Amino acid sequence: MDFLEEDKLKFSPEDELIEIYRSFYGGKTPLSDEMECERFILGLSQEFKMETDKLAEPWKDEHVTLGEIFQATQTQPIGSGNAG
């Protein structure tokens, strides 16, 4: 999902990811897609150096918001904790 710079500023923490996703498909959930959500999680995982399972946790709720996804990224990155 690529957005123009000016469009990126139109999102709100309350926006549901599923509604953003559906907007690409005329308001419907397609039978098959380009795995946008999965690629989004992988991208976040790489950007924030987090396990994909940790980032995928909030997505168990279909109505996860951008704010909830952001909150999931604010946990301690992999390998940054104290060992021992």
Q: What is the pLDDT of residues 8-67, one digit of tens each?
A: 788 999 999 888 888 888 878 777 777 877 888 888 889 888 888 877 777 777 888 989
Whether residue 41 contacts residue 56, with contact meaning beta carbons closer than 8 Å, is answered with yes
Q: Which two tokens stand for residue 78?
A: 């992999």
In a domain, 81, yes or no: no
Number of domains in the chain: 1
22 closest CA partner among 14, 33, 13, 11: 33
In a domain, 82, yes or no: no
Residue 84, pLDDT > 50, answer no
In a domain, 24, yes or no: yes
The pLDDT confidence band at residue 83, using thresholds 50, 70 and 90, is very low
In a domain, 65, yes or no: yes
In a domain, 21, yes or no: yes
φ and ψ at 16, to 5 degrees? -85, 135
Higher local confidence (pLDDT), 5 or 82: 5
pLDDT at site 14 = 96
pTM of the predicted model over 0.85: no
In a domain, 5, yes or no: no
In a domain, 6, yes or no: no
Domain around 42:
12-73
Measured from the Cβ of residue 55, the count of other Cβ atoms closer than 10 Å reads 21
d(CA 24, CA 16): 14
57 DSSP assignment: G
Residue 71, pLDDT > 60, answer yes
